[in-house]
């Protein structure tokens, strides 16, 4: 059974460029989460979706960040324009439901470096 | 608001030593509690969880007990191995149909042979 798939695994870009991160959740999972991990701030939830609908985007740092989930098997996180402070590892996770006992399954992450 | 506090790392142990990583939480309700582990270069994976007071989660020799009276969920293992070297995250899910995880800052464990 395939886990959560993220692409690319590594991205290096220059300040001002658009960056798109991609995620394929586990089949049959109804909730999808985007996290950012940095040394300074640890793991932060950016946004999550239930049944393809964004539920809570209060963690999205600013308007430069946007996320979509056009169908149950695909989501994107876009940064436009990118800035050096966006450098981090971005994780996508999915769970069967978003209830308090549900386990989240994480992808391997995308390491983003903005020069 | 709800929060999780973990002991600062890094923690360095010799193989077969006893491990404790402390975790305490603040929550208004009765959250579920989790330990996730992140091996180098990988995403997080669930290690164990407990969903109500006095529950004990266990997996791969690790265990943690949900203590409501002390709001704690300390991770323990009786004999660590080099392969246990990783970063360990304590987390809570504050529940409801729209619950999501709040993570501690992580504790890095290094086990030396």
Q: Summarize pLDDT for A32-89 with one digit per residue, the tens.
A: 999 999 988 888 899 999 999 998 888 898 899 999 999 999 999 999 999 999 999 9
Neighbouring-strand partners of residue B92: B33, B102
Q: Which of A4, A100, A102 is closest, CB to CB, to B31? A: A100
- The DSSP letter of residue B69 is T
How far does Cα A65 stand from its chain's mean position?
10
B113 inside 8 A of chain A by CB: no
How far does Cα A98 stand from its chain's mean position?
16
- pLDDT, residue B74, reads 98
- pLDDT, residue B97, reads 47
- pLDDT, residue B100, reads 73
Residues from chain B that touch A91, judged by Cβ atoms under 8 A, are 43-44
- The DSSP letter of residue B67 is B
User: Do the Cβ atoms of A100 and B43 come within 8 Å?
Assistant: no
Looking at chain B, the whole-number percentage of residues with pLDDT higher than 70 is 96
Residues from chain A that touch B31, judged by Cβ atoms under 8 A, are 100
- The DSSP letter of residue B72 is B
- pLDDT, residue B9, reads 84
């Amino acid at each position: 059974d395939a886990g959560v798939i993220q692409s690319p695994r590594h991205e290096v870009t220059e300040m001002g460029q658009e960056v798109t991160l991609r995620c394929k959740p586990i089949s049959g999972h109804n909730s999808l989460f985007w996290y950012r991990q940095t040394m300074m701030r640890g793991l932060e939830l950016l946004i999550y979706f239930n049944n393809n609908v964004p539920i809570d985007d209060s963690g999205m740092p600013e308007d430069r960040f946007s996320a979509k989930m056009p169908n149950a098997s695909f989501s994107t996180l876009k940064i436009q324009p990118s800035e050096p402070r966006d450098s981090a590892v971005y994780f996508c996770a999915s769970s069967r439901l978003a209830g308090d006992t549900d386990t989240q399954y994480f992808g391997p992450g995308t390491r983003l470096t903005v020069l | 608001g709800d929060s999780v506090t973990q002991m600062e790392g890094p923690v360095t142990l010799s193989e077969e030593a006893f491990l404790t990583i402390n975790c305490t939480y603040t929550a208004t309700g009765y959250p579920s509690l989790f330990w996730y582990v992140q091996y180098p270069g990988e995403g997080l994976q669930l290690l164990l969880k407990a969903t109500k007071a006095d529950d004990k989660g266990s997996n791969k020799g690790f265990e943690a007990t949900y203590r409501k009276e002390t709001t704690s969920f300390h991770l323990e293992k009786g004999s660590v191995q080099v392969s246990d070297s990783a970063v360990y995250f304590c987390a809570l899910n504050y529940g409801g149909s729209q619950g999501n995880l709040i993570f501690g800052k992580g504790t890095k464990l290094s086990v030396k042979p």
